[in-house]
A and B are shown apart, each in its own frame.
Chain A
Amino acid sequence: MDFLNIFRIALRALARNKMRSALTMLGIIIGVGAVIATVSIGQGAEYLVQQGIQSMGTNAVFISAGSGRPGGARMGFWAVKSLTLDDLQAILREVPLVREAAPAVVSRSQVVYQNQNWNTGVLGTTPNYFEIRAWPVQAGSVFSQEEVEYAANVCVLGTTVANYLFPNESPIGKTIRIGTLPFRVTGVLESKGQSVMGDDQDDRIFAPFTTVQKKIAGITWIQFINASAVTQEASVAAVRPITQLLRERHHIRAGEDDDFFVRTQSEVADLADQTSQVMTLLLGSIASVSLFVGGIGIMNIMLVSVTERTREIGVRMAVGATPADVQNQFLVEAVTLSMLGGVMGIAAGLAGSALISSFLKWPTLISGKAIIIAALFSAGVGVFFGYYPAHKAARLDPIEALRHE
Chain B
Amino acid sequence: MKELQTQSGGAGAGTLIRLDRVTKTYDLGEVQVHALRGISLEIQRGEFVAIMGASGSGKSTLMNILGCLDRPTSGRYFLDGVDVSGMSKEELARIRNRKLGFVFQHFNLLARTSALENVELPTVYAGVPPEERTRRAREALERVGLGERAEHHPSQLSGGQQQRVAIARALVNNPQIVLADEPTGNLDSRTSVEIMEILQRLNEEQELTVVIVTHETDIAHYAKRAIEFRDGRVRRDQVIEKRLVAHEVLASLPTREEMDAEEETEAKV
Q: Which 10 A-B pairs have the closest CB atoms?
A: A320-B97, A320-B125, A319-B122, A322-B93, A322-B90, A315-B108, A398-B69, A320-B96, A318-B102, A321-B125
Check A320 against B98 for contact (C-beta < 8 Å): yes
B183 at the interface (CB under 8 A from A): no
Q: Which of B86-101 contact A (CB under 8 A)?
A: 89-90, 93-94, 96-98
Given the known interface contacts A320-B96, A320-B97, the answer about A1 and B108 at a Cβ–Cβ threshold of 8 Å is no
A residues in contact with B112, CB < 8 Å:
16
Q: Decide yes or no whether B29 CB sits under 8 A from chain A.
A: no
Assembled-state Cα–Cα distance A328/B222 (Å): 42
Question: Which A residues touch B122, using CB under 8 A?
Answer: 319-320
Complex Cα distance A398/B121, Å? 16
Is B82's beta carbon under 8 Å from chain A?
A: no
* Interchain CA distance A13-B195 in the complex, whole Å: 31
A-B contact pairs, 18 of them (CB 8 A): A1-B125, A5-B124, A16-B112, A316-B121, A317-B93, A318-B102, A319-B122, A319-B125, A319-B169, A320-B94, A320-B126, A322-B89, A322-B94, A322-B125, A323-B89, A324-B90, A399-B69, A399-B70
Q: What's the count of A-B pairs with C-beta under 8 Å? A: 59
In the bound complex, residues from chain B placing their C-beta under 8 Å from that of A1 are 124-125, 127
CB pair B67–A318 under 8 Å, yes or no, is: yes
Type the 1/0 row for A364-405, where 1 means its CB is closer than 8 Å to any CB of B: 000000000000000000000000000000000011001000
Does A349 sit within 8 A of B, measured CB to CB? Answer: no
- Chain A residues with CB under 8 A of B109: 315
* A312: Cβ under 8 A from any B Cβ: yes
Residue numbers in B under 8 Å from A57 (CB-CB): none
Residues A318 and B69 in contact, CB atoms below 8 Å apart: yes
B96 pairs with A319, CB closer than 8 A? yes
Contact A314 B89 (CB under 8 A): no
Closest Cβ neighbor of A311 among chain B residues = B108
Return A53 CB to nearest CB of chain B, in Å. 60
Instruction: Determine which residue in A311, A316, A320 has the highest number of CB atoms from chain B within 10 A of its CB, and name it.
Output: A320
CA distance A398 to B94 in the complex (A): 14
Contacts of A316 in B (CB 8 A): 121, 125
Residues of B within 8 A of A321 (CB): 93, 125
Q: Kindly identify, within residues 76 to 120 of chain B, every residue whose CB is under 8 Å from any CB belonging to chain A.
A: 89-90, 93-94, 96-98, 102, 104, 108-110, 112
- Rounded to whole Å, the gap between the CB of A77 and the closest CB of chain B is 78
A315–B121 Cα gap in the complex (Å)? 9
Among residues of A, the one whose C-beta sits closest to the C-beta of B91 is A322
